[in-house]
């Protein structure tokens, strides 16, 4: 499907520079742009491609002043990075096709409620007393258990498992093969050295606009709820253990692990392969460099930490410089 530059500009509230009737059918990176593509320019390192690109339309910031002629039609917007996200969402919706009824899935028709405009692909299983909101898209091979509540405008990709009693807010995205609501890792040691499994009777709550990455797992609480608050973005292959609470708009990169009952603050940034031990609190606006390990409470907001046993980033770099100088002396 093709769409005109003018229609895109109207949707984004942007200003056209060039031919408003030129049409595009797909997005592309600016260095690979071809006729019929729409690209975006935000990083100054890529400015040369604005002049070299064969793309039909390029999104640019309103502050951008070209130093050469630009053959593509430009759409000036306040933030081209955010604008391309809106454009990508639009083209992604086109690939899904029309929202239409599809009853080639297994559910309990007398107890399960499916909202208007929701599309469910083949080979999906939905349990008893579950509710799916409006305008959701559920791909093939998804399992949704009993008493699950899914909000509106939710996308659930293939292979996702949503276990019993889970609550998912509006606008959430569950990437392929993630598991939400499996048992937490709870075992009581016995005198003979074996372990007795502790029943996990709680649930998981994902609030609005949460995204869970591919192959990431979020465990149900032993009692109560594991809570991932609104706007949280969790990358692929992460583990959020039982009774964890993750604050609003916190972001975690791949292979991060949060142990049981840890409380993570709002607007935190965790690099890849970070680890947080259980039963501690991490303050709002904490940043962890990749492979950092947090084993105690982080009480001061806005700190950047680094190291296997994480401590202040600046102290870490001074210590690292000392380590290097000692090595050179030897």
* Catalytic residue positions, numbered: 242
Give CA–CA dist 160/150, Å, rounded.
13
Cα dihedral angle (146, 158, 98, 211), rounded to 10 degrees? 80
Secondary structure (DSSP) of 5-58 = HHHHHHHHT-EEES-TT-EE-EE--GGG--TTEEEE--SGGGHHHHHH---SEE
Secondary structure (DSSP) of 72-86 = SEEEEES-HHHHHHH
Give CA–CA dist 193/172, Å, rounded.
42
Cα dihedral angle (215, 205, 115, 26), rounded to 10 degrees? -40
H or E stretch at 218: strand 217-219
């Amino acid at each position: 499907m093709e769409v005109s530059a003018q229609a895109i500009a109207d949707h984004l509230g942007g200003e056209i520079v060039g031919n408003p009737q030129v049409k595009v059918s797909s997005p592309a990176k600016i260095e690979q742009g071809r006729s019929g593509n729409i690209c975006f320019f935000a990083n100054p390192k890529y400015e040369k491609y604005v002049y070299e690109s064969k793309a039909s339309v390029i999104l640019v910031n309103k502050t951008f002043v070209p130093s050469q002629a630009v053959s593509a039609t430009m759409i000036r917007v306040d933030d081209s990075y955010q604008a391309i996200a809106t454009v990508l969402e639009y083209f992604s919706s086109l690939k899904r096709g029309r929202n239409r009824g599809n009853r080639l899935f297994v559910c309990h028709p007398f107890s399960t409620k499916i909202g208007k405009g929701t599309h469910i692909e083949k080979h999906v299983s939905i349990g008893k007393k579950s509710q799916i909101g409006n305008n959701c898209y559920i791909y093939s091979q998804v399992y949704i258990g009993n008493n699950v509540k899914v909000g509106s405008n939710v996308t659930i990709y293939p292979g996702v498992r949503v276990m019993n009693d889970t609550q998912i807010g509006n606008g959430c995205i569950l990437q392929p093969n993630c598991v939400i609501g499996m048992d937490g890792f709870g075992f009581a040691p016995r005198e003979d050295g074996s372990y007795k499994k502790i029943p996990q009777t709680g649930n998981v709550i994902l609030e609005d606009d949460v995204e869970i990455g591919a192959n990431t797992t979020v465990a149900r609480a032993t009692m109560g709820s594991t809570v991932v608050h609104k706007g949280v973005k969790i990358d692929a292959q992460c583990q959020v253990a039982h009774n964890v609470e993750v604050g609003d708009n916190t972001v975690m990169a791949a292979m991060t692990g949060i142990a049981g009952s840890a409380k993570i603050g709002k607007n935190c940034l965790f690099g890849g392969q970070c680890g947080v031990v259980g039963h501690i609190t991490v303050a709002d606006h904490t940043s962890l460099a990749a492979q950092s390990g947090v084993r105690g409470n982080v009480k001061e907001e806005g700190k950047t930490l680094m190291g296997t046993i994480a401590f202040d980033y600046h102290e870490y770099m001074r210590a690292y410089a000392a380590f290097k100088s000692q090595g050179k002396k030897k």
